[in-house]
Amino acid sequence: MALDKFQIAQRIAKELKDGFYVNLGIGIPTLVANYVPEGINVTLQSENGLLGMGPFPQEGKQDADLINAGKQTITTIPGSSFFDSAMSFGMIRSGKVDLTVLGAMEVSEKGDIANWKIPGKMVKGMGGAMDLVASAKNIVVAMMHTNPKGESKLLKECQLPITGIRCIKKIVTELAVLEIGEEGFILLERAPGVTVEEIMSKTAGHLIVEGEVPEMKF
C-alpha cells in the first residue's frame, strides 16, 4: 500500500533528532510537526522571523502580526524568539538549522531539485527555497513519486528550472525512502506491500537496489 501524505510526514518525522532546529516547508512538510516522536524535542524555524513555532491559535486568539512563512496564523511557545529576515537567513546560511524538509516538483539523481517555476504556467517566485537548499546541511524532500500525469519525478536530470544543485540528501515518497548517492538514487526502504519492481518502474533516474530492501516501519 502506498503511503498517504500523513504517513509520508510520519516517516519523515523519524529523521528528527533531539535538539534539532528544523525548517518545514509548505504542504506535506508542515504535517511533520504533528508526528514528532516521543522524547524528542525539536524547535521549528519559520523563515519570516520566528524560532519556536507553536500550534495554530484558538479562535479569537489569532494575531495578524504573528504568522508563519505560509502566511498562516500561528502562536509562540515558551522560549520562542523573533528576529528580522536577514538574521533568519543568516542562521540558515551558517548551518545552524539542522534539518530542512521541503516539497519538490523534480529531483535529479545527482541531488538537484526543481520546485519553484513552471515556465509559462507558474511563476510565483522562489521565496526562501533557493537560500534553504543552497545552505542547509541536511535536506529531506517530501513528494509524490510521480506527477499527476503518472511521470516520474525522480529523474536523471531536472527538466524544470532548478532551485539548487547537488543539495538533496534524502527523499520520502508514497512508495519509498531513497538516498542520493554518488551513482544515483539508493533505495533504502519500501512502503509496506510495495514491490521493488513498482519503485523501479516509477523511477526514471538511476535506481540502486542493494540486497533485500526492508519495508518502512512506523
Partner 1 sequence: MSKIFQNAEDAIADIHDGAVLMLGGFGLCGIPENCITAIVKKGVKQLTCISNNAGVDDFGIGLMLQQKQVKKMISSYVGENAEFERQLLSGELEVELIPQGTLATRCMAAGYGMPAIYTPAGVGTEVAEGKEVRNFNGKDYLLEMAFDADFAIVKAWKGDTMGNLIFKDTARNFNPLMAMAGKITIAEVEHLVPAGALDPNHIHTPGIYVQRIFEGKDYEKRIEQLTLSK
Positions touching partner 1 (CB under 8 A) are 46-50, 55-59, 62-74, 76, 82-86, 88-89, 92-93, 112, 123-131, 134-135, 161-165
Residue type, position 211, single letter: G
- CB neighbourhood size of 210 (10 A): 9
Which uninterrupted H or E stretch holds 108? strand 106-108
* Phi, psi angles (nearest 5°) of residue 199: -65, -40
Comparing CB distances to partner 1, the nearer of 128 and 191 is 128
Going from the C-alpha of 136 to that of each of 7, 47, 67, 142, the distances in angstroms are: 24, 13, 23, 15
For this structure, is 15 an active site residue? Answer: no
Q: Shortest Cβ distance from residue 175 to partner 1 (Å)? A: 28
Of 149, 156, 203, 148, residue with least CA distance to 175 = 203
Cell of 139: 535536506
Which residue of the set 38, 47, 197, 212 is catalytic?
Answer: 47
d(CA 56, CA 20): 21
Comparing CB distances to partner 1, the nearer of 67 and 208 is 67
Q: Shortest Cβ distance from residue 55 to partner 1 (Å)? A: 5
d(CA 202, CA 134): 28
Q: Shortest Cβ distance from residue 165 to partner 1 (Å)? A: 4
The residues facing 176 across adjacent strands are 190
Residue type, position 109, single letter: E
Comparing CB distances to partner 1, the nearer of 27 and 161 is 161
Q: Shortest Cβ distance from residue 126 to partner 1 (Å)? A: 6
Comparing CB distances to partner 1, the nearer of 20 and 83 is 83
Comparing CB distances to partner 1, the nearer of 118 and 209 is 118
Whether the CB-CB separation of 51 and 97 falls below 8 Å is answered with: no
Q: Shortest Cβ distance from residue 36 to partner 1 (Å)? A: 16
Annotated catalytic residues are 47
